[in-house]
Structures are given as C-alpha cells and as structure tokens.
Amino acid sequence: MSDKVSRRQFAALAGLSAAAIANPLDGADAKPAAAATRDSGFPAGFLWGTATSSYQVEGAVNEGGRGVSIWDKFVRIPGKIEDGSTGDRANEHYHRYKEDIALIKELGCKAYRFSIAWPRVFPDGDGKPNAGGLDFYNRLIDELLRNGIEPWATLYHWDLPQSLQDRFGGWRSTETCKIFGDYAAYVAEHLTDRVKNVFTLNESGRFVQFGYGLGIDAPGVTLPQREVNQVRHNSALAHGLAVQAVRAHGRRGTRVGPAENIDVCVPAIDTPEHVQAAEIALREMNAGYLNVIMEGRYTDAFLKYAGADAPKYTEAELKIISSPVDFLGLNVYAPQNYVVPSDEGAGFMPLPIPKSFPHMSSDWLRIAPETIYWVPKLAAKIWKTDAIYITENGTSGDDVVTPDGKIYDTDRIMYLRNYLAQLQRATAEGVPVRGYFLWSLMDNFEWVFGLSKRFGLYHVNFDTQVRTAKLSASFYRNVIAKNAAGV
C-alpha cells in the first residue's frame, strides 16, 4: 500500500475555440444546434453532509475510560504506517468537537456522519459499559443538534476492541458477531432518541481483505482464502445481527443500513450490451457481502468460483444477514473494473486498468467521474432499493499552504465538480440517491498512510491543531447553497 510514485505530469493542451465554426462537416444548410440546457439541480430535500471516523480524528486514546483497539496495537508495529505516526492524538476531535461542528455548520451541511469507537463504549468489547465513553457521544450529538446538524452514526469503522481479537481472533469468530449485536443494541437503546440513522459496518470489503487477507491493515493477519471468505461471511452476519438489534432496541422511526466500499464495475462503453455486462459484474463482484445482504443468498457463480474455499453457513444465518435494511450506503471513489461483455463465464470480462489512467495524489484513486453515476444506477436496479446514500466520496490532494496562508486545492475542486456533476445526472434520471457525505471534513489519520495523505476540506496543522479552510470548502459550500453541482 505504499504510495511513493509521484503523480504523472501531463502537458497542457490548448483547447479549440469556436469548434462549430471550425468543423468542416457543417454545411451552409445545417440546422442550428439546440440551446444547451442544464438540470435544475439535485432533488429538493437532498441531504448534504460530511464524514469522519473515530480512530482517524478523535485522539484521546487513553482518556475517558477508552479501551485498546486493534489499531492502537497495529500502529506500533515498525514499518506498518508509512510516516510512523499514530492515531493517539489525531485531530483531538474528542476535545475539539465543538470547534469541528462549527466547521460543519460553516459549510452549510445538514448532516454529519461519524463513527462510534466500540472500545470507548465497551473497553473490552463486552462486559460492563463505559459510561464516560457513551457520554462523549451524548455531548457530540447534542452539540450537532443545537447547530441544526443531523447526526448519522456508524457503529463500526475498524477500531475493533483488542480484547476481542485476543480472545476470539476478532472477526474470525461468530462470538465477535454476537458481541457486536449486543453492542449495537446498547447504542441503539441509548442514542436513537436523537440519532435516527445508523450504519452498521463500514467497508467490510476493506477491513476483511486488508486486515485478514493481506495483513496490510489491523489486525495485520494473513489468512488463506478459505478463512478470509469465512471472515467476510462473519462480517455480513454481524451486520445482520446489528440490524436486528437496532430494530429491537432503537426508538420508533430509526433507520439502519450498511456502508460499503462497493467493488465498482463500470461499462467500458455506454451501450446496452456493456451496461448489461456491468450490471452482472457489479452483482457478482459484490456477491460475498453486499449481494448476500440484499438477496439473502450467495450467487451460484460465487460459490462455484470459491469452490472448496466457500464460507460455511446455515440457512438461519442467511436469514439474519438478509434482515431488511432501510437504505444502502455506498462509498464511491474510483473504478476497480471497467467491463465488457463476454460469452464466457458469467457474461462479463474485467479489463486491465492502463498504466496511463489518470489519478489523484493517491495512485489508487483513479479519476473516473462516471463511476458515481453508474454505481448507484446499477445498484438500485440490481437490489431494488429506493434509498441510496453516497456515504463517502472525496480525494486526497497535494495541499500546499501558500505564503498568504491559503490552500488553493483546485485539484480537489476538479475532482468534486466532475463527480458531483455525474451524481446530479443520476438523480436527474430518477436514480434514488437521497444524500451525499463528502470524505472528509478535515485532514486526519489516513490509516497506513498516517498523516501524509490529506482528504479534508479543512487543512489541519497536526502540530498546532489549527484548522484552515481550503478553497474546496468554499466550493462545497456553494454547491450546498445552490443544491446543484455548478457545472
């Protein structure tokens, strides 16, 4: 996951003006072009928000009775974090949350997606709850509501209590799943008088594969594929148990659903054949988690491909996993696969990504605005959902503080402008995207990259903890005010 390759430099190309005049195919009797039109914007009531996660921003890892998480241990393994930093201090959001909520209000956001640190509420994962930990989230939620900002809580954003990893192997055991259900019930019982929207697990696809397969993320385990598939199944089971717990213990009207970094499949060409191939691919490439949640079964193609490595499960578990959800949260950044139709296999073929494909300051973050159009469009059709939220979208940037103290992050503005234009295209066509959470509110601890990758609308000086608005904050504020992408 090291990202040491610098961004490729491209020569500026001069655009041709007056293209219609220069076009030799335009005859004297050619009909004048129709006047350009623009969609009026996003639907009325579209929810604009921003997002963070507990370990990435809170800091205060030894305060308020918080227990140890797998990331607290993992960051101390030499060589695991690119710049050697930790989340011990991070953004000091635990102490500076009022200041940070003022930044959210300044943007005009009406929602804030945050995550609850499981070891802050249950230091050992289970057993006696920590009243001091829950009290922090009570203060945070109350401050959000005082500022007219709706709290959207995520139950799990990767900071598993280390005690559960030590006792049960973490997500390798269904014991952890059951304990997660109990934790979800406790949170729902105590917070859903004010928190009306709850996400279960964030990015199972990431923390399972990177944490238990490749060993790149916490807990840093490298298991054979059979066990990785079982861990993924267990995470789906944990999701289902959490959904049931929120239903049973949450206040009336509480909504619940997953937030997943969907394995993105985009049609290489916008033709019916390619679109159909992308639809098949999106379902099959997400068969191990999202599809089993939404359909209650593993696809035949997935089970055939996994073979002897397929997860072991019961019909009772599948019923729990497929407990009905109220919405589908999708984290969308870049395409993993462009696909074309194929007469072999399941009916699609992924294409290799060319080395010359443009990307942002993170090599993995390919620039493909059409991604955020196709993903919710295809997902809504495949899984017949009428409520989709883009729970993460954004980009890292080579943010430089200029002598005047400003950060002119036009690269981030370029990315957001183009992605939001494609999202607006989707909603104009009736795709049921109800809201968008920009990642991230501010620069923070970016997992294995430490503090070296900056995704925020606000620049953070990690020595002084001073927050400074980037130019992209003004751009996003304008988008929210107009309820339109501004293209």
Dihedral sign for Cα 418, 420, 422, 428, please.
negative
Amino acid at 224: P
Does 35 fall in a domain? no
Report the number of secondary-structure helices (H) and strands (E) in the chain. 17, 13
Structure-block tokens of residue 118: 């499981």
Domain hosting 203: range is 47-482
| pLDDT for position 9 | 25
Residue 189: CB atoms within 10 Å: 15
Does 2 fall in a domain? no
Q: What is the pLDDT of residues 459-481, one digit of tens each?
A: 999 999 999 999 999 999 999 99
Give the annotated binding-site residues: 56, 157, 202, 333, 439, 446-447
- Contact of 112 with 150, CB cutoff 8 Å: yes
The DSSP letter of residue 356 is: T
Provide the pairing of β-strand 255-260 with 111-115.
unpaired
Does 439 fall in a domain? yes
pTM of the model: 0.92
| pLDDT for position 33 | 31
| pLDDT for position 487 | 61
Structure-block tokens of residue 134: 């829950």
Does 308 fall in a domain? yes
Does 72 fall in a domain? yes
Number of domains making up the chain = 1
Q: What is the pLDDT of residues 201-259, one digit of tens each?
A: 999 999 999 999 999 999 999 999 999 999 999 999 999 999 999 999 999 999 999 99
| pLDDT for position 25 | 26
Does 30 fall in a domain? no
Dihedral sign for Cα 23, 25, 29, 32, please.
negative
Catalytic residue (choose from 58, 82, 203, 260): 203
Does 18 fall in a domain? no
Pairwise CA distance, residues 234 & 212, whole Å: 12
Residue with tokens 């710049």: 83
In the chain, what is the greatest distance between 2 CA atoms, to the nearest angstrom? 82
Provide the pairing of β-strand 337-341 with 348-351.
antiparallel
| pLDDT for position 474 | 98
For residue 468, the cross-strand partners are 459
Active site residue 370: no
296: domain CATH number is 3.20.20.80
Active site residue 203: yes
Does 294 fall in a domain? yes
Give the annotated binding-site residues for substrate: 56, 157, 202, 333, 439, 446-447
| pLDDT for position 39 | 56
Phi, psi at 243, each rounded to 5°:
-60, -45
Catalytic residue (choose from 82, 279, 284, 392): 392
Question: Which parts of the chain have pLDDT scores under 70?
Answer: 1-39, 487
Pairwise CA distance, residues 142 & 128, whole Å: 24
